[in-house]
Copies of this chain bind each other. A is one copy, B any other.
């Protein structure tokens, strides 16, 4: 059986039956991706479907850990779609460098790592364990349009 090293990300996506959404559109005067050298920076990705919030609220208040995980998976799908729109194919991704996970939380929500793992696990299943990123997780006061999660991604890509 082929290891994750010999199977490309696009093949993995297809094997997993994952169909990416249409690329996200900005909510303001910015773009969704900028490449400098071999680093691809993506804008903060939100849990939107068709440019509309899929979730609104705060973790530990209106929303629980499982909803937070689903919201972050949704944001992750947007990130993958934005990266593919930039690169043509996700097979060009040589490393996930950094995930920034920002969660709108009530003061007493401390389950951040479990929510953040929803993004890390999805990326790992597609790019393989050897491309796993560093990670930064914060509980914040609020996110654009009242959404509960935001995901920032830096990837290293083939030249």
Contacts and interface: CB of A to CB of B under 8 A. Distances in A.
A101 to B, nearest CB: 9
Interface residues of A, number: 59
A140 B143 contact: no
Q: Which 9 A-B pairs have the closest CB atoms?
A: A139-B142, A30-B135, A29-B120, A44-B136, A43-B134, A28-B113, A36-B156, A110-B146, A139-B141
Contact of A36 (B39, B42, B124, B136): B39
A100 B41 CA distance: 12
Contacts of A27: 113
Interface in A30-60: 30-34, 36-39, 41-44, 58
Interface of A: 26-34, 36-39, 41-44, 58, 95-100, 102, 104-110, 112-114, 116-117, 120-121, 124, 132-146, 150, 152, 154, 156
Nearest to A61: B107
A156 to B, nearest CB: 4
Contacts of A116: 28
A109 B142 contact: yes
Nearest to A39: B36
